[in-house]
Amino acid sequence: MPSFDDSEVVLVDENDRQVGVAGKLAAHQNGARLHRAFSVCLFNSKGEMLLQQRTMTKYHSKGKWSNTCCSHPTPSESIIEASHRRLREELGIDVPKLEDIFSFIYRVDVGDGLTEHEYDHVVFGRFDGLPKPNPEEVMDYKWMKSEDLRDDIKAHPDRYTGWLRIAIDRIIAEQRKSHY
């Protein structure tokens, strides 16, 4: 059985207003309930994004490549606080400044009867160091130019998480507009 933390997630409406809480597993079952999430994208000074390959013990999207890290804030955390926490837990790193750049709602079947239905905040930051991946969370990592990533996603979509496939064009557009 894959490892699974059934902590509470924040249920939201289409305007990201909290409407309740649910266990993480329950929020992903039976077609899923819309809940708050975040996806961190860290860029180095060359403009490359840090990607992680999810471990085979994740409860969904096992072995797929994704953005730097992603998760759900607890009911008592802000998006930025949760982003810092998960960067430390998954990759052994933190950055001084993270910015909530844009949000989008998506729904993706992630297999095993689970669905991601998330109000996803995409958070950007800068990082030029070496991650120290937690082997229970991250199987591998690499740096990649966003345009090369988009091309590889188009050529090999099954290698990547559903949310990254959906968000990559907007990530590139926002990266171009910002200082990342």
123 found inside a domain: yes
Residue 79 lies inside a defined structural domain of this protein: yes
Known active-site residue 77:
no
- 1 in a domain, yes or no? no
Buried b (16+ CB within 10 A) or exposed e, 4-32: eeeebbbbbeeeeeeeeebebeebbeeeb
Give the tens place of pLDDT for each residue, 95-121. Answer: 999 999 999 999 988 888 888 899 999
Residue 163 is assigned to a structural domain of this protein: yes
> What are the structure tokens assigned to 148, written together?
């090369």
At 122, which CATH number?
3.90.79.10
Per the residue annotation, which of 90, 118, 137, 174 is the catalytic one? 118
User: How many domains are contained in the chain?
Assistant: 1
pLDDT at 144 over 60: yes
Residue 41 catalytic? no
Question: Which domain does 147 fall in, by range?
Answer: 8-177
| Residue 3 maps to a domain | no
How do residues 4-61 score in pLDDT, each as one tens digit?
456 899 999 999 999 999 998 888 888 889 999 999 999 999 999 999 998 877 767 7
Indicate whether 71 belongs to any domain. Answer: yes
- Catalytic residue (choose from 70, 90, 116, 137): 70
Identify the pLDDT of residue 140: 96
